[in-house]
Structure 1
Amino acid sequence: MLIYIECDWFTEKRITFKEKLNIVVGDRANSNSIGKSTLLKIIDFIYGGDTLITHGKDVPEALGHHSYIFKLRLDKEYVFERNTGTPTLLHVHGADGSKREMGTTEYLEFLQLHYTNEIEDLSFRSIVSLVTRVWGRDNLDVRRPLHNFSQESGSQCIEWLIKVFKQFGPLEDLSIRQTNLLTEQKSLNAAAKQSIIPKITKTKYNKNQEDIATHETRLDNIRKEISSLAMSINELIDEAVLEQKTQKNQLLEIKMSLASELERVKANLENNKNISKRSFQPLLEIIPSLNLEKLDTIESFHNGLTRILRKEIKAKEQELTEQLSLIDTQIAECNAAIAKALKNSGNPAFIVDSVIDISLELSKLSKENELYDKFIKLKKDAKELKDKLKELKSGILRKIEDNLNTDIAGLVNFIYGEMRASPKLELMPEKYSYEIPKDTGTGKAYSNLILLDTSLLRHTTIPFLVHDSILFKNVENKAIENVLHVYQSLRQQSFISLDGEIVESKSAKLLVESCAVVYLNADKLLYTKDWRAQENKVQAE
């Protein structure tokens, strides 16, 4: 539990906390900027959050960067220090006055070990962040109370809830298998999109099946034709011949491409001819004033460029000719290798070529269909796994939903002292809804976040909650008093802020006094420095 927080800028240098309910009490006038919400942000800060930095920039801007020293009682008592100027680094205070540096990653692992170790697969921050509802944060949407931030998906919220209830175990294996299947699907689709592997349609698949049957029939016929020579078809199309044939086909394609490029280069050479001065004579007859010397100078410049280009084109022609010569040599080597392999076969070369071509085509078609079958199987397996996961998850969610809704209904009856409509949480595998009663105003709508969070803490081991005064706006005093009793009944610590006009009713006075950790008002701020006047001046300007 949190024992105390100290800061040199605090009006009360040390604020000490209680084992269960802790109330930051504001004044009757509901004064703004007195420090109620800021203290709750500081609590978030000392537990590894950044709300004080991201949503409370006015504090370090007004005070400069400063430290908070705090004590936690866990397996023993620990004293830490965190500074707003170096939020990624903490210091552990030793009993002898020494200090040891600790990064936030190590610190959050420390908190997870001591606070949330029973909740697997969730970090400490992801567990406590949702129920830390402070003004300025993104988790105050009364109709999406399981969203820690607005861009979070419904399925992520559902998974968080299942894990917090420690019900993720039965789903983990299926979830891992589903992730692996989807990853494999994604990889294959990406490879197909880049034309690394073929991806065919059902129509092409059926056509391939017909072609495969036709090719196999042709191979059978060839086997029968050469059986009289007592030769096995496997001897004719051994691996070496297949490899050489494949290489030869590739070389022929390259040769065709190079030859085409060489023809274009030769055509460019033919088109790059010089124009002589004599070529301008016919123009002189038409335009007597024509300056032949100037035209000749311009053409000389163009001819210079042409000579440079011709030189480059000739070099390209030479390069392509040499490449073609090399390709021809390699093709000849392939032909020689094939001939050598077939030297003693005693069979016509066209038979062997035919067998090789058919075998290559068979291999290509078979590979296409095998990949098609793999795509189909992956899709089928993924769907079956998704349906199974959905069914199992739905069963788990029904139990969680029933427990929470039953508990929330009981809390509503206790808080308001009468039968009232209560909010209903509906949980689905990929989304959820939180239906608020139609007659609920703004204040009571926020109070439904209190109902959900307190019910969550009653059913799970979430270590604490933080609720700002906005959640209590427009809720009648008697209901507030009963809400405080609910907080007080929790096993965990809770930190809330309340305005004076709410908590100064006679019936709630004793409870508030016993749980108050600090009283703040327009004359007694959280910090010794008051920058409200400066803010108001800026706004007025």
Structure 2
Amino acid sequence: MLVEIHCEKFRTTPVTFTEGLNAVVGDSVATNSIGKSTFLMVIDFVMGGDTFYKHNKDVIDELGHHEYFFKFEFDGIVHSFMRGTSNSDIIFKCTEDRIVRDSISTKEYREFLSDSYGINHLGLTFRKMVSLFSRIWGKENLDPYRPLTEHKKQKASESLVFALKLFEKYYSIENLTELLKEKDLEKKAFSDAFRENLIPKISKKKYIQNQITTEKISGELDDIKNHLEKYAVNIREIVNSEVEEIKSEKDNLLQSKLLVDIRLKRVEESLRQNRNVRSKKFDVLKKFFPEVLDKKIAEVEEFHSNIAKILKNELKASEKELLVEQSRINEVLAKLDEKMKSILSESSIDNPGVIVDRVYELSSNMRTANLENKYYDQNIELNQTVKNIKNELNELKKNLLAEIENLINTTLRDLSSFIYSSSKKSPYLSFTSSNYNYEIFEDTGTGKAYSNLVLFDWAVFMTSDIPILIHDSLLFKNVENEAVANMMSVYGNFNKQVFIAIDEVQKYGEEAEEVIDQHTVLRLSDNHVLYNKDWRKK
């Protein structure tokens, strides 16, 4: 546990700590900016946190860079350290009389704390465990409706993983989670390969066509294999088969070419026609309606001229596309004609090479079709596997979270009954497989919201291995005096270290005041601020 913090800039130093509750107490008029929250931030700082030198920059600006010496005691052994504001990434090991020795990184230091507090088996870093439950003004973890959210950018899924690890449930889904990550990577690799055309992506229709194609090719290859001698003597049978395929493909292309030619002819005819509206076409109209103004006629003529221009541009674009398509079809037709000519030419000679070429072409087409279908099958199978793993993982996670939910809510009911009486509804935590909700019933005021945040922290603190708890005085503002008095008795009974800041203690009654007095480690007031320099007034 933390036993001491010393700083030459403190007005009172060193500050020593005990097991259980450690209270930083303000004055009876709740004077602000005397150092209560800052001192809690210093505790967070010596616990490996980084918020102090980011949020409390005024301290460094006014005092300059300075050092904090601190001691922990684990199993009867004292460990002394120093951390400064000028190079906070380095922690120095010290002797008990504050002589600096070796240095270690903040990562190594946090690992030391995790090991010393006996929490490294949870799969959570030390800071991940303690930072959320260090509720200090200046941090982003003060939303009473999102008590498992450490900072604004944190996803709900991260909060659920935190809860599962904290309550030692994560190991039950760890293998499935890793398997899902692996399969998601495979799925992404397939998507990337499809997108970059590294492997072919086909539709279900194409898949069925490939099956028909491979079946047909397989039959022809078997036929060639079984009647090789006959084909060697009579090449014409193979040639006729190839010519028939080419002719079928050519017929389809000619049909497409006919449709393109017809559309192209219509477009060219439209472009040749002059559809502009001329003013002379209104002469007859003016004869019968002389009151029609020339200006109006001119406006109509201009409108129709603009429409004609737009239509002309669209027709030109369509003409260009049709010409490109026409050229492509003609090119393919030319290649088919050349191929047919070559086949018919070779067939006039007793040339066994035709058989080899045909077998090669069939095998190549079959290989392509099989490969396309293989990737299709693998992709479908992979997507189904990912879906099945997600469903299994979500169901398992839902059940595990329900166990945590039940444990916390049972504890919340007991705590709420003690603080408020059994007549009031207790706050309620609920999980889904991807999110969570913390409901605060009846009273939605700031005071009740923060007091229910305190109850949540207590429930987790009491049912898990969270090593420390830090609560700032803002959590007690606007809370009923009787409720705060009851809270103090709960704080006073904790065995693990708790650090709180509080002021106006007299208004909470003699019993609460007695508990606070017994556990006060530092008193601050308007005339006795935290540091030996007071920069509140310039």
Same fold (TM over 0.5): yes
Structure 1 residues 356 and 502: alpha-carbon distance in aligned structure 2, compared to 1, 3 A threshold = farther
Name which of 483, 507, 510 aligns with 1:506.
510
Most deviating of 502-511 and 205-214? 502-511
- The 2-side partners of 1:21 and 1:133 are apart by 15
- CA drift at 1:490: 2.5
Give CA-to-partner distance per residue, 1:45-103, whole Å, 9 cap, x none.
00110110111111111111110000001132101000011000011013584511111
Residue in structure 1 matched with residue 533 of structure 2 by the alignment: 529
**Preserved CA contact (<8 Å) 1:394 1:428:** yes
Give 2:109's aligned residue.
Answer: 107
Counterparts of 2:462 and 2:122, CA distance in 1: 18
1:496 aligns with 2:497: no
Q: Report deviation, 1:516.
A: 0.8
1:194 and 1:112 mapped to 2: Cα distance? Answer: 46
Out of 377, 382, 399, the residue aligned to residue 378 of structure 1 is 382
* Runs (5+) with no aligned partner, structure 1: 232-345, 535-541
1:399 aligns with 2:417: no
Q: Give the equivalent residue in structure 1 for 2:464.
A: 460
Number of residue pairs matched by the alignment: 420
CA contact (8 A) 2:231 2:355 kept: no
Q: 1:34·1:521 contact (CA, 8 Å) conserved in 2?
A: yes
| 1:504 shift after superposition | 5.5
- Letter in structure 2 aligned against 1:197: I
Q: How does 1:33-48 map to 2 (within 5 A)?
A: 33-48=33-48
The corresponding residue for 1:368 is: 372
Asked if 1:92 corresponds to 2:102, the answer is: no
Residue of structure 2 in register with 1:294 after alignment:
none
1:405 Cα deviation from its structure 2 partner: 0.6
- Decide which moves more: 87-96 or 523-532: 87-96
Q: 1:70 to 1:349 in 2, by over 3 A?
A: same
Alignment of 1:168-179 (within 5 A): 168-179=170-181
**What CA RMSD, in Å, does the superposition of the two structures yield over aligned residues?**
1.8
8 Å contact kept, 1:30–1:501:
no
C-alpha separation in 2, matches of 1:410 and 1:503: 25
Deviation at 1:440, TM superposition (A): 3.0
Residue 392 of structure 1, CA deviation: 1.2
After TM superposition, the structure 1 = structure 2 runs for residues 277-292 of structure 1, keeping only pairs within 5 Å, are: none
- CA shift, 1:357, in A, is 1.2
* Counterpart residue number, 1:215: 217
Aligned in 2, Cα 1:358/1:406: closer, same or farther, shift over 3 Å? same
Structure 2 residue 72 is matched with structure 1 residue 72: yes
- Structure 2, unmatched stretches of 5+, are 234-349
Q: Give TM-score scaled by structure 1 length.
A: 0.75
Shift of 1:457: 0.8
Alignment-mate amino acid for residue 204 of structure 2:
K
- Assess if the C-alpha contact under 8 Å between 1:20 and 1:488 holds in 2: yes
- Report Cα offsets for 1:420-454 as digits up to 9, x if no partner: 11111001111000011132311110111101111
- 1:349 alignment partner in structure 2: 353
For 1:432, give the aligned amino acid. Answer: Y
State which drifts further: 187-196 or 91-100.
91-100
From the superposition, tell whether residues 119 and 448 of structure 1 become closer, same or farther in structure 2 (CA, over 3 Å). farther
Q: Residues 259-304 of structure 1: CA distance to partner in whole angstroms, max 9, x if unpaired? A: xxxxxxxxxxxxxxxxxxxxxxxxxxxxxxxxxxxxxxxxxxxxxx
Q: Which residue of 2 aligns with 1:332?
A: none
Q: Which of 463, 479, 482 is the matching residue for 1:478?
A: 482
Shift, 1:419, TM fit: 2.1
Tell me the CA shift for residue 505 of structure 1: 2.8
SS class of match (1:508): helix
Alignment map for 1:246-257 (pairs within 5 Å): none
Secondary structure of the structure 2 residue equivalent to 1:448:
helix
SS of structure 2 residue aligned to 1:526: coil
Is 2:207 the counterpart of 1:205?
yes
Correspondence 1:15 to 2:7 = no
Shift >4 Å, 4+ stretches: 227-231, 501-504
Change (3 A) 1:438 1:119: farther
Instruction: Quote how far apart the aligned CAs of 1:493 are.
Output: 0.6
Corresponding position of 1:358: 362
Number of the residue aligned with 1:434: 438
Deviation string, structure 1 residues 371-417 (Cα, Å, up to 9, x no partner):
11111111111111111111111111111111111110110110123
Q: Any conservation in 2 of the 1:34–1:526 contact (CA below 8 Å)?
A: yes
Deviation at 1:118, TM superposition (A): 4.8
Aligned residue number for residue 326 of structure 2: none
